[in-house]
Amino acid sequence: MISKEVLAERYEGRHVVRLTIESGEFTVRLLNLGAILEDVVVPSRKGRISVVWKMPEVLQNITSPHYGQVIGRFANRIAKGRFSLNGTTFHLEQNNNGNALHGGQSDFGLHMWNVLPFDEQGDSVTLCYDSPDGDGGMPGNLFVTVTYTISSDGKLTLAYTATSDEDTPVNLTNHTYFNLSGGGSILDDEVQLSCPEMLEVDDQLIPTGKIRVVADTVYDFQIPKTIRKDMAGTPINGYDYCYVIGKEHRWPQSFGCLYDPKSGIEMHMRTTLPAVQFYTGNGLSGGVNAAGAGRNEGVCFETQSYPDAPNHPGFPSCIVKKGETLRTVTEYRFSVR
């Protein structure tokens, strides 16, 4: 069942709308601001709890650490904020140590989307966004949709499409911070990632172009372990790295699981995409801009194409060709162990 609430808050000249999808014991809340996944409520050993970080006021999402946002056109980093395509060099906003990160001010998560008609008795909502030619320095008029679905057995699906009238890089993801206890540290959560490789990065987290094998390193999560276990051995005392899932698939493939021993909730993950950015909330400040969330109190699994792919011919292509439609799917399935 789906309900719609028009809020008093306005942004970009329009009212913010909250959409609530309820399916069995599971509840999902969305905003047309940033196509934000505002809340996810699931069963735990001790009752239903919210398992994502959210802002107390909807307009605070503009200054949040990307809570629940759909990031575009290009999630993650592009080195020096520039790339070349079809003989033309494009320049982007440099908002991260001289590099481009998450699109800067053109980030889709900072702007208003449209809500497409939906069935009030259904379990899916689709939002869409028009990104004009030159948006954030990117070529082509791009039309994007994201469909959120929550099933009665706890499967949350995010299905994206993107179509452009010019060749353009596209890397869409969702930047939800999960906390399967509803709050507190995530360091004792167990993570399993079926990813034998990761992208090597420099000290600014820009890919070097090399692929690293993770076996027998602090980055290896092929066998489940706590986030805390080897974290101190990483250069950043945490994780903010892109793991290689494999080639893109037509149907979602399993790539990992997050388990919280306190709540008993586990979250199995599948995607059609070739990579996932595993981020342990190292930049969460504990301040009002993060709704009080402190360092390592939220964890992200941002399924995506490779960061900086436009500058690495050896990486899988992130270019959506003129007139073609990109389709990707990511699933998070919640259960109680």
Residue count (the chain): 337
Distance CA 281, CA 300 (A): 7
Supply the residues annotated as catalytic: 175, 302
Q: In what order do the strands lie in the sheet with 275-279?
A: 207-213, 197-201, 240-244, 275-279, 300-304
| 223 token code pair | 């066998």
57: which residues sit within 8 A by CB, 6+ positions away? 9
Closest CA to 148 of 138, 156, 140, 137: 156
Phi, psi of 297 (to 5 degrees): -110, 10
Q: Please, are residues 239 and 231 in contact by the beta-carbon 8 Å criterion?
A: yes
Beta-carbon neighbour count of residue 204 at 10 Å? Answer: 11
Phi, psi of 174 (to 5 degrees): -115, 135
Distance CA 321, CA 337 (A): 44
